[in-house]
Each structure stands twice: as C-alpha cells, then as structure tokens.
Amino acid sequence: MRDYEIMYIVNPTVADQEETLEESINKVHTLITDNGGEIVNVDRWGKRKFAYEIEKIKEGYYVVTKFKIAATALTELNRVLKLNEDLVRFMIINEELN
C-alpha cells in the first residue's frame, strides 16, 4: 500500500448543514476503506472562498485526508469520486513522490 493525500471541496449547499456535511465526508472515507484503504489523518480546513467561480459556485468546504491504499484501487476511487455530486473538485496526490 502507498501513501496518498486527497484534497476535496464539498459543495457549500451540502456543507451548510452539519449532518449533510458529515455524510459527504463519510462517503469519501467509506469509499477509501471499502477499496482496501486506511485513513491516516483528516484535516478540515473549513469553508473558504475560491479565487474564481467554479460552475457558478464561489466558496466550498475544504477537507484534506491522508490515506494508504493499493495503487490498483486508485482507478476505481477516481471514477466514483468524479460521479459524486457533493464534491466541487478533488485532487489525489502520491505522498511518496513528494
């Protein structure tokens, strides 16, 4: 298993309510663990304004999660995250290359 970091931005309409925010964050973390991954650390940055609008959205709730997962499971993780409508953007970085 390799070390990765994902930063994702939760849509502000979801982030405005505490329970929907928790559900959205738990969806991402469950997706990682269901694919054989292990959550190492979660850092919530909170709601921040964007430098520019993304699909008419001006702000979002930022979360950074460090995790371990097999490289082969990354394809499925990317595919499902792209379909998640609660997320505005996400980026996965291989920590071992930094």
Q: What are the residue ranges spanned by the domains of the chain? A: 2-69
Alpha carbons 26 and 46: distance in angstroms, whole number: 16
Query: 0.75 exceeded by the pTM?
Result: yes
CATH fold for the domain made of 2-69: Alpha-Beta Plaits (3.30.70)
Under a CB-based contact definition with an 8 Å cutoff, are residues 10 and 85 in contact? no
Q: What is the pLDDT of residues 25-83, one digit of tens each?
A: 999 999 999 999 999 999 999 999 999 998 899 999 999 999 999 988 999 999 999 99
Confidence at residue 19, expressed as pLDDT on a 0 to 100 scale: 85
